[in-house]
């Protein structure tokens, strides 16, 4: 656990959120009505049936989050990606810094290029980007989901940072939560935490 003193002087979130919850958890516990569709979306996109593996999809989410410089999102999704990839944190790091040189498939590289363009803005995705992905064997569904994952993380990153939530600094702090997310998914994990927060706040 981090010593309490290291948190002194850190800016508070912009609204009153439950203490001790990192990143998106505080806002989700605060507003369960919006948390439900947000978690449903990410469960479908990152964990649902797909010809892209969970590891590949988490890498897309991590890459976009790093492009948006969102520490919480890139850390937690990077940890989940590593979990799905046999603990290969080095690969996750390589994808964030230079995916074109990383040890991933040509198809995933082409999809990450699309994701990077979506991060800048929808119109930055060109016909050439799509063609390049198709040449590497990407299906329409894989392209669709890549665009939507990238778009969704442009939302999540802004939500997390827009409310000035705090996030643990060390990558090692994310391994255990990532293992839980990988096993139970986003909706179930968040609901479990919400229940624990309510129980703690109750009689």
Q: Find the shortest distance in angstroms from Cβ 184 to other proteins.
A: 20
Q: Find the shortest distance in angstroms from Cβ 52 to other proteins.
A: 14
Chain residues binding other proteins by CB under 8 A are 11, 14-16, 27, 30-31, 33-34, 36-38, 40-41, 44, 68-70, 114, 117-119, 121-123, 125, 127, 140-141, 144, 147-148, 150-152, 154-164
Q: Find the shortest distance in angstroms from Cβ 88 to other proteins.
A: 28
> Closest CB to other proteins among 124 and 135?
124
Q: Find the shortest distance in angstroms from Cβ 142 to other proteins.
A: 11
Q: Where are the alpha helices (DSSP H) in 48-185?
A: 54-67, 71-84, 89-98, 106-120, 127-135, 140-162, 175-184
On the 0-12 / 13-18 / 19+ scale of CB atoms within 10 A, 145 is buried
> Closest CB to other proteins among 120 and 135?
120
- Cα–Cα distance measured from residue 88 to residue 95, given in angstroms and rounded to the nearest whole number: 11
> Closest CB to other proteins among 36 and 106?
36
> Closest CB to other proteins among 71 and 83?
71
CA dist list (Å): 177 to 17, 61, 77, 104, 183: 20, 17, 10, 25, 10
Token pair belonging to 91? 């690969």
């Amino acid at each position: 656990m981090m010593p309490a003193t290291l948190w002194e002087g850190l800016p508070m979130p912009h609204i009153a959120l439950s203490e001790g919850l990192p990143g998106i958890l505080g806002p989700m516990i605060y507003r369960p009505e919006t948390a439900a569709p947000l978690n449903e979306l990410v469960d479908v996109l990152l964990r649902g049936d797909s010809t892209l593996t969970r590891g590949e999809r988490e890498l897309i989410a991590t890459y976009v989050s790093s492009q948006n410089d969102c520490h919480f999102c890139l850390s937690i999704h990077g940890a989940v990606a590593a979990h799905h990839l046999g603990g290969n944190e080095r690969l996750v790091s390589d994808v964030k810094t230079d995916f074109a040189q990383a040890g991933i498939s040509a198809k995933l590289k082409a999809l990450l290029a699309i994701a990077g363009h979506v991060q800048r803005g929808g119109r930055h995705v060109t016909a050439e980007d799509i063609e390049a992905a198709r040449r590497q064997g990407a299906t329409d569904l894989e392209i669709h989901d890549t665009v939507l994952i990238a778009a969704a993380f442009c939302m999540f990153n802004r939500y997390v940072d827009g409310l000035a939530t705090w996030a643990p600094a060390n990558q090692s702090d994310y391994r255990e939560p990532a293992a839980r997310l990988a096993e139970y998914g986003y909706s179930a994990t968040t609901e479990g935490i919400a229940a624990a927060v309510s129980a703690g706040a109750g009689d």
